[in-house]
Structure 1
């Protein structure tokens, strides 16, 4: 009970920082302790470090391997459950400027090796405990009358080798078109120490600006995922972010960086570009449901 109470207190402190700063960085050592109290096993934590080996090619970026899955947070049943496959689309309306902005992308799906992993399931629970009930600047054309949440999970490996320069965020300064973004680091190989730094920008920064061309006066914070489960959470429509290039420590060998991105928003409303593919139906072939928890008083914060 003492360990449980201590972890609940830690999550409460993280949530308080998130409410205050609209951004929080959680060191991996702390988050590992938290998710173990939320049901993650040591074996499944170890499996997370290699789950990205099963990733497939990305539909638009040659230096990336990706799988995605859609999950629904349901406060009525207090469950997170797998939702059916739908295409994925980010546009300039979402503050996302890239060569494939507005293009419907079809990713290969996350499989049971990830969604049945107790550590991944605990990360879902952790995110819900932090963000549920947090007031945010509302995005146009999202249904804030709904109590449901849709979370698109991306498992991404970025690669730099002799032919490719890996960009964790080729789009430069951007937002993710959601309410709450969470990124969790799974590991890397041959990554130079100055690689993949995340910058948080004031909303006045121009979309699409490369990370090294941004206005230093508009940088609100910076963080770097370096240790297993290092995690950032940010209110996605109150700041923008960018990520620096992945460099190889030994340029004669491939460098990789593995990440989970949890993009969570309200269901879309009429007129949204994703209206035709925003189903809340459960996945017919890859079912998964896990119980959620909430901090006392979180829903009314």
Structure 2
């Protein structure tokens, strides 16, 4: 990759970051993401491979209409690196604005393997997210250690499946937050899914948790978007915007419909008293090691956010 192209893409990433700082969310179309990820090291071969990585998922521990895997990674900006963390159980509570039948339960997911973490497109997605959220000021969450220089990124590879007997819900919990500082969602593909499926709605924090997507207060809807093209990506300041999603519907109702996503939950390590405190190790994975370098713009000052949280108006992305 020529330096000029890399420089152009870094300028583009900074523009995306500026929109994220201003609006507290940003939707990046897939074609734009492909260009950015190539500049960050993704090969054409791996871009094709990542489309199919969800074919190797496992049954979800609590949701019958979903297949899943997860893995934990650490953003270590002091070393300009990201590395794989050891496997830990996962918990998300009502206290973190997540109200569902399995809230507060300790869930154990099958682990992401080298087919995903060794993929240069996936590694470029980690690098891209690090560039966008780094040093962005956000509303702090309770019981997170903002004095710790490390960031924990829990990645979920998910396939939501609708069948003639079961409705696939990308967000069965209704209106919610993800218990983190920055959430990024990236679309990998779908089969037999209608054009009006899986719309994401962004809500003011005053919206009541667990409200279904179609029963929310229109006055509290701040925007909506739909992941429909390969690598369409949404990034949200999670403690300043709640969200909900509509179900996955099938074009041919006699056949399954699927929707494949990567979800990147990024937050500071937790403090004692947080539900995830027993499951928040910063120890590197001994069986599935991975370390990648993280890029940064030449002018470090460009990374500094302009001010604190900004109240956003209504936005709509095609």
TM superposition score normalised by structure 1: 0.99
Contact 1:133 1:298 survives alignment (8 Å):
no
Q: What are the superposed Cα offsets for residues 176-235 of structure 1, whole Å, 9 maximum, x if unpaired? A: 000000000000000000000000000000000000100111000000000000000000
Q: What are the superposed Cα offsets for residues 127-170 of structure 1, whole Å, 9 maximum, x if unpaired? A: 00000000000000000001100000000000001121000000
- Say which of 65, 75, 80 aligns to 1:63: 65
Q: Give the equivalent residue in structure 2 for 1:53.
A: 55
Deviation at 1:300, TM superposition (A): 3.5
Q: Give the equivalent residue in structure 2 for 1:217.
A: 219
Asked whether 1:275 is paired with 2:277, we answer yes
Contact 1:196 1:224 survives alignment (8 Å):
yes
Deviation at 1:299, TM superposition (A): 4.9
Aligned residues: 301
Correspondences of 1:126-137 after superposition (within 5 Å): 126-137=128-139
Deviation at 1:298, TM superposition (A): 4.9
Q: Output the aligned Cα RMSD.
A: 0.7
Q: Give the equivalent residue in structure 1 for 2:114.
A: 112
Question: SS of 2:153's equivalent?
Answer: strand
Ranges in structure 1 where 5+ consecutive residues have no aligned partner? none
Asked whether 1:28 is paired with 2:30, we answer yes
**Separation in structure 2 between the aligned mates of residue 263 and residue 275 of structure 1, nearest angstrom:** 16
Correspondences of 1:80-91 after superposition (within 5 Å): 80-91=82-93
Asked whether 1:297 is paired with 2:271, we answer no
Correspondences of 1:143-292 after superposition (within 5 Å): 143-292=145-294
Question: SS of 2:91's equivalent?
Answer: coil
Question: SS of 1:169's equivalent?
Answer: coil
Question: SS of 2:261's equivalent?
Answer: strand
Ranges in structure 2 where 5+ consecutive residues have no aligned partner? 306-318
Q: What are the superposed Cα offsets for residues 40-95 of structure 1, whole Å, 9 maximum, x if unpaired? A: 00000000110000000000000000000000000111111000000000000110
**Separation in structure 2 between the aligned mates of residue 8 and residue 200 of structure 1, nearest angstrom:** 27
Deviation at 1:264, TM superposition (A): 0.1
**Separation in structure 2 between the aligned mates of residue 27 and residue 41 of structure 1, nearest angstrom:** 19
Detail structure 1 runs of 4+ shifted over 6 Å in the superposition. none
Question: SS of 1:297's equivalent?
Answer: helix
**Separation in structure 1 between the aligned mates of residue 146 and residue 107 of structure 2, nearest angstrom:** 26
Bigger Cα displacement from structure 2, 72-81 vs 173-182: 72-81
Question: SS of 2:264's equivalent?
Answer: strand
**Separation in structure 2 between the aligned mates of residue 32 and residue 147 of structure 1, nearest angstrom:** 30
**Separation in structure 1 between the aligned mates of residue 301 and residue 193 of structure 2, nearest angstrom:** 42
